[in-house]
Structure 1
């Protein structure tokens, strides 16, 4: 594989998916006085070193230029510098602590169980194309906003990383039986429930900044964390030399924006 070509494509794809949201953000300012400025805080689940977070900074810079400085977005990474973490990001946007949030729909399942099916689970949105068709061509965005708008939040898709990489493990895994009674990090919602039921594993929805320390200390036996690139960014491959792939329990995943 030509990795440099793939990296360039990935970055281009991210920009193209963010453009509709940029236009939407700018439209929020269009009816205000021409000299009025807006300062927004954007809390992400992504850690500071990740491509996801770095691209949010790029997006914020582009919005600042496109709005002539009228909309100034400051992105905050997950971890020590965060203003809210994990599922609490939803309430932070709802309460106005931050004006935008960035995460994954299944993390908002505590607000309504229907959020769990907005991200791809087993046997529903089986690839990126199916997921994008659901949101852009069918009723996905409308349905998501039926969940978010009563909370005072506008929902938009951010980007599609692709299929989850799989499980990285400290010990060899050759089948579901090897996961019995193991502590596995995976996000909340349907994928977690399906994996726990199928493998009799204990599933734990740790946020990105918590994953590596828990793996190093032995509090976790295996980890699912987004794509191969995402796992590499956290250095999980240094601790977990074994893997079981692909993540059939979550074949396509979408990152999202929450906007107060």
Structure 2
């Protein structure tokens, strides 16, 4: 009898206590947070600018809308090429930008985007995620009160639009070209005049003749920006980047203040947006290139003489920067080993497969 009484009292206590647990769950919910993200890319470019929106939407979905990130276009909060400065100063919490825009601050930032004759999309992804690239880069970002992750990649790019044909290295001398990152330094070493312009400023400069040539990305974006209307020659490949990553950059204090679950949501959303962006370009570039060629665009490969000259200067520049910049040297050691290892493997598998298919497809 005493045992049954104890059991009844225990059951009653559990019944009474159960409703009291619900408010504890409510109090344990993660906080509502609102961030602003400034993008460096024109809002008309639905792939590269759109990746920032895919990222923000995914963060919201992963956090039941408690972590909201509002995306602003270039100039709405800060100019396109001042995104990193705004994050560093805390003017905005985060940005979506191309780190090669900021090699004037430190040349090692180029590794977050891509360097001349560097890694292709898969190789860059492997080095970043499995080769320690993200951690090495964040040692650099900490010096600028920032934390970064890959957010988007373009795949292989085109070599750009030229008003006149490029027949040899002599044609690079005096050439005023919009080109970002270390590719501009290589061009300068060969007598060119690199110009750094934000996406929205390029067409007017090309139309007015302020610049003679421009590289931006590939057919899908280039068609939208209208470069084919003022420059007839479209060259390939973009030797200055085997592929180009874009980056999420957060103010370091704001990043550290986030709950761990929100940091995980950002990491997941960055990866999601990266897959989305490269897939969008890979599915849309082919039709865009066909349209450009049908409209009169003249497709040209860079002459071997030009490629070889650029390669020699790029390799010399790598060694010079490694000797001057400790940050560049440390990242380059890891990156170069990954490059050499993966190229040896890709020659066996990927390259032989791709070359075979290219040859048989050309005969069909």
TM over 0.5: yes
2:264 corresponds to: none
2:288 corresponds to: none
User: Equivalences for 1:187-202 in 2 at 5 Å?
Assistant: 187=180, 189-198=181-190, 200-202=191-193
| Residue 60 (structure 1) aligned with residue 49 (structure 2) | no
Number of residue pairs matched? Answer: 224
Question: Structure 1 CA distance, aligned partners of 2:39 and 2:70?
Answer: 11
Q: CA offsets per residue over residues 42-92 of structure 1, 9 Å max, x none?
A: 1111101102212322332232232222111111122xx432224421110
Question: Structure 2 CA distance, aligned partners of 1:158 and 1:55?
Answer: 8
1:161 corresponds to: 154
- The alignment partner of 1:120 has SS state of coil
Flag structure 2 segments of 5+ consecutive residues without an equivalent: 1-26, 252-364
1:119 to 113, 131, 140: 113
Question: Structure 2 CA distance, aligned partners of 1:222 and 1:123?
Answer: 20
User: Given that residues 183 and 201 in structure 1 are in contact (C-alpha distance below 8 angstroms), is that contact kept between their aligned partners in structure 2?
Assistant: yes
- The alignment partner of 1:46 has SS state of coil
User: Given that residues 184 and 194 in structure 2 are in contact (C-alpha distance below 8 angstroms), is that contact kept between their aligned partners in structure 1?
Assistant: yes
Shift in Å at residue 238 of structure 1? 1.9
- Hey, which of these two has a bigger chunk of helix by percent? 2
2:283 corresponds to: none
Max Rg structure: 2
User: Equivalences for 1:242-253 in 2 at 5 Å?
Assistant: 242-253=233-244
1:33/1:227 CA distance change after superposition, 3 Å: farther
1:95/1:220 CA distance change after superposition, 3 Å: same
Between stretches 47-56 and 105-114, larger displacement belongs to 105-114
User: Equivalences for 1:15-164 in 2 at 5 Å?
Assistant: 34=29, 36-50=31-45, 51-78=47-74, 81-125=75-119, 127-164=120-157
2:216 to 225, 245, 251: 225
Shift in Å at residue 228 of structure 1? 2.3
User: Given that residues 195 and 201 in structure 1 are in contact (C-alpha distance below 8 angstroms), is that contact kept between their aligned partners in structure 2?
Assistant: yes
Q: CA offsets per residue over residues 90-137 of structure 1, 9 Å max, x none?
A: 110011111111111212223322112333222432x11221111011
2:176 corresponds to: 183
Question: Structure 1 CA distance, aligned partners of 2:187 and 2:111?
Answer: 15
1:210 corresponds to: 201
- The alignment partner of 2:157 has SS state of coil
User: Given that residues 172 and 243 in structure 1 are in contact (C-alpha distance below 8 angstroms), is that contact kept between their aligned partners in structure 2?
Assistant: no
User: Given that residues 173 and 243 in structure 1 are in contact (C-alpha distance below 8 angstroms), is that contact kept between their aligned partners in structure 2?
Assistant: no
Moved >3 Å (runs of 4+) = none
2:325 corresponds to: none
Shift in Å at residue 245 of structure 1? 1.0
Q: CA offsets per residue over residues 140-199 of structure 1, 9 Å max, x none?
A: 101110011232211100122022211201222233322321210001x3211112213x
Question: Structure 2 CA distance, aligned partners of 1:89 and 1:171?
Answer: 33
- The alignment partner of 1:145 has SS state of helix
- Cα RMSD of the aligned pairs, angstroms, is 1.8
User: Given that residues 172 and 187 in structure 2 are in contact (C-alpha distance below 8 angstroms), is that contact kept between their aligned partners in structure 1?
Assistant: no
Question: Structure 2 CA distance, aligned partners of 1:150 and 1:180?
Answer: 37
1:227/1:197 CA distance change after superposition, 3 Å: same
1:235 corresponds to: 226
TM-score (norm 2): 0.58
Question: Structure 2 CA distance, aligned partners of 1:108 and 1:140?
Answer: 18
1:207/1:177 CA distance change after superposition, 3 Å: same
Question: Structure 2 CA distance, aligned partners of 1:254 and 1:55?
Answer: 12
